[in-house]
Structures are given as C-alpha cells and as structure tokens.
Amino acid sequence: MKRLVILGGGESGVGTALLGKAKGYDVFVSDKGKIKEKYKDVLLNNEIEFEDEQHTESKILNADIVMKSPGIPDKVALVKQIRETGIKVVSEIEFASKFTDATLVAITGSNGKTTTATLTHHLLNQDLDVGLAGNIGDSFAKQILEKNHDNYVLEISSFQLDDIVDFKPKIAILTNVTPDHLDRYDYKFENYIASKFRVIENQTEDDYFIYDADDEVILDYMKTHQIRSKKLPFSLTKVIEQGAYLDNNNITITIDNNKIIMPTKNLALEGKHNVKNAMAASTVAHLLKIRKQTIRESLENFQGVEHRLEHVLKINKVQYINDSKATNVNATYFALESMDAPTVWIVGGVDKGNEYRELFPFVNEKVKAIICLGVDNAKLMESFGKMVDVIIETQYMSEAVKIAYKLADAGDNVLLSPACASFDLFENYEDRGRQFKNAVRNL
C-alpha cells in the first residue's frame, strides 16, 4: 500500500485525503497550524490519521508521495528535506487529475482568474455537467470522489502549478501576468512568469491555449518559448483571425472558420478588464459547443464575484465598493480605472514588493483622499503622500469606513481596493471584505 502524506489540513488537503483513501492509499495529514474543526470532523469520520500544530518527521519522511498545500513555500526546511529524500512532491490538481477523464479547463493569471473561472463555469453550466474547483469552492479532489463531473473549470494559482508533473488541461487560459507573489520567487519576475506558463507545458497540438494578446509579458515569453497547443488569443486592440477581438463594441470570436458575434453593451460586468474576461470565457464556451444564444444570455445575467468591485450600498448618494480581492497593484489598477466619480480610496496591507507607479495617473485624476489600512503604511505614505490633500492611517476597518464616510460627498465613491495581501490585520481577503461590508452597513 502506497503512503500518501498531505501537508496542510485545509480544503485541498482534506479533499486529497478523502480521494487518496478511496483509491487505496495509506493516508496521513500533517498541519503545522491548527486544523479547523469542520475539517477535523471529516478526517475523524473517515478514520484518516492526522496531526496538527506539529510535523512529526518520522511519519512524513516515509511517504511514497507528498501532497503539499499551495500555501507552504518551497524554502521551508521540511519541504527541502522531503525533496532531498527523493520523495515526489505534488499539488492537489496534479494528484487529483490522475483520477478523472473529464475535460479540464485551467485558468491562471495574476488577475481576473476568479471572475473568468466563475463566468466560464456559468456559461458552460447551462448545457454541460461541469464542476468549479481549484482555488475556489469545494476541492477538486473531493469533487472527483463525490460527483466526478464530465468537465471541470479550475482556477489555478502559480503555487499549484509549481508542483505539477503531468497535469494537462484540454483548454488553458492565461489572463495576464503582472508582478505578484515575488516573495515566493526569489524576487525574480522571470521565475513567476515561467511558473504561470507551466499551465501549458504538457499540452499537445490537440489542446488549446487562450491568452491576452495585449499583454507584453505574455507575448515576450512566447517569442522565446515554443508553444505546442493551438493558440486562441483575445485582444481589445488588434484584429484576431483565430480567437477573440473587440470590433465596434462587439466581441467577435472565430474558431476554425466558425464565427460568433456578441454585443458588449449589455454585459453584466463593467470595465475593460471584464470585456477581456468575457472574451476568454466565451471562447471556451464556443470551443465546447455552447449555443450562441446561451452564451449571450449568460454574459448578460452573470452576477460577478464577491469582493471584486462589488457594489455594497449607496448611503447619502455615496457608493461603497468592496474590491478586497485586489491583493496586488494590477488588480487595483483595474478598479481605479473603472471609477467614474471622485473616489475615497482605502488601501494597504502586506506589501509583496509592490511598485505603485502605474497607479499615479489614476490617483491624480480620480482619488480625493487615501486611507491607509495596514500595520506598516510607510511605503504608501511615501508613494502617495504628495498627490492627495488627505492621507490618513488606521489599523481598524470600522474606523477606516467611518473616516471615509466623513470625507465623501454626494456623488463620490468609497473604494476598498487594497493592492496588498490581507494577513497583517485580517484572516484573508474574504474576512477583510466582509468586515468592510459590515462596517458600511453599520454606518
């Protein structure tokens, strides 16, 4: 019996444990932190051995295969030791994909992947049996065990791609590549870019690669690396023969002489970046033979993603917008770009080596006041201090929202778009977004 050791007792870890046990592995789960009660209950009910708040090396280094949670960096001593022992280390998507024959649509990128994955699932779900997994919802492994859909839309982070071996999606989407998580890639942007491109490394000419043809980073990488899969780019500025482009506010998608045209005027999601997300998702739907009418209707009734430019409430003619999911500068760039009124901007958190310069034009043009919400706001104060009349620091969401309420006039926006990770003051970006919404509702 092969021994499967799982590092990390969260959603992906517990899902993998259940699938591993069902497939005849001897399973052990080890978490250096505390495993949440709901996950402990699942492990106990399924008689899966586990430990938390420690890693017992003797129970780990005898593994045949180790599934490591994406949150654990490679530089951790235990992970180095496992690799030096010659034990194979894989991610959940690598392990789980071995047990399904489903058509896999894998979506990665620095920004837009959650919206694109959710939208793609929404388009396909009208006509096909399709699961949504990866960085989102129930774990991929658990769904294979319990539902085993015919198709999966997977939102995949670079950390999950770092530990693949044979993982091969039928359709891969790369939304964009901008500097993010550089702390995990030796502060080398090229390492992070290479990690994102691993989504297509096992693809053949029978598979498809959908990507943003307006993204210089992607185009530069493709100039020097051979891509075997069929390319279906999307663009807002160029005419694309095979793929998608914008023509007079219509999205035109062409695949093998089969053309469909979708008007953008009724898209449920606003902003240029969402036209791109819609192009990528519609290209997948077109590839998988979803009817044009279904695609059009689905694009018009899609509700969007929580914590992503989510309109919370209007109070005294001021619109409060929750964009807590903007954990990097590029995401905040899209948010500020789409603001059409003077904006009070709440920003800050754990800086991942951010470069704020690309935000300067928007801050000069649209932002009337900045509220820095983080433990260390020095870099923000230095970057933006001279650009706005009002810049204030706080470490409490409730206080940030009260200050914003005082600063905003009728017709203004209050935007939470942090451009940073949330771990200094919050459990995660969802916690940050929920605290923002609660604070707004309590005004």
For residue 146, what are its two tokens?
A: 């319990």
Q: What is the mean pLDDT of residues 141-156?
A: 95
Residue 181 pLDDT more than 70? Answer: no
Domain locations along the chain: 3-90, 94-301, 310-442
The string of pLDDT tens digits covering residues 185-211 is: 777 788 888 889 999 999 999 999 999
Taking Cα atoms as reference points, which of 412, 398, 390 lies closest to residue 316? 412
pLDDT at 150 over 80: yes
**Amino acid, res. 59:** K
- How would you classify the pairing of strands 151-155 and 130-134? parallel
How far are the Cα atoms of 87, 265, 298, 339 from residue 249, in angstroms, in the given order?
53, 7, 18, 20
pLDDT of residue 74 exceeding 90, the answer is no
Taking residues 414-443, what's their average pLDDT?
A: 94
Q: Which of these ranges, 51-55, 123-127, 303-307, 429-433, has the smallest mean pLDDT?
A: 303-307
pLDDT at 184 over 80: no
Q: Per the annotation, where are the binding residues?
A: 109-115
Instruction: Identify the pLDDT of residue 195.
Output: 86
Does residue 422 have a pLDDT over 80?
yes
Fold of 3-90: Rossmann fold (3.40.50)
Least-confidence region, from 114-118, 135-139, 150-154, 379-383 = 135-139
pLDDT at 138: 87
Under 8 Å between Cβ of 243 and 213: yes
Q: Which fold has domain 310-442?
A: Protein-Tyrosine Phosphatase; Chain A (3.90.190)
Token pair 């030791």 is found at: 81
What DSSP string describes 312-337? EEEETTEEEEE-TT--SHHHHHHHHH
Residue corresponding to tokens 């959650």: 114
Sequence ranges of the binding site for ATP: 109-115
pLDDT at 244 over 80: yes
Q: Which of 342, 306, 313 is nearest to 401 (CA)?
A: 313
Average pLDDT over residues 284-292: 94
The per-residue pLDDT for 174 is: 96
The rounded distance, in Å, linking the Cα atoms of 285 and 279 is 10
Tokens of 273: 């970046």
Burial class (CB in 10 A: 0-12, 13-18, 19+), 23: middle
- What's the confidence (pLDDT) of residue 423? 86
**DSSP reduced 3-state for 198:** helix
| Pair 207, 140: CB distance under 8 Å | no
Using a 10 angstrom Cβ sphere, with 0-12 exposed, 13-18 middle and 19 or more buried, the burial of residue 301 is exposed
Is the predicted pLDDT of residue 155 greater than 90, yes or no?
Answer: yes
Q: 16 falls in which pLDDT band (50, 70, 90)?
A: very high
Token pair of 429, please? Answer: 């970006």
**Lowest mean pLDDT, pick from 138-152, 177-191, 369-383:** 177-191
Tokens for 101, please give them: 């024959």
Paired strand residues for 233: 211
Task: Name the CATH architecture for the domain at 94-301.
Answer: 3-Layer(aba) Sandwich (3.40)
Which position has the higher pLDDT, 267 or 19? Answer: 19
pLDDT tens-digit series, residues 271-282: 788 899 999 999
The average confidence (pLDDT) of the chain is: 93
Assess whether pLDDT exceeds 80 at residue 220: yes
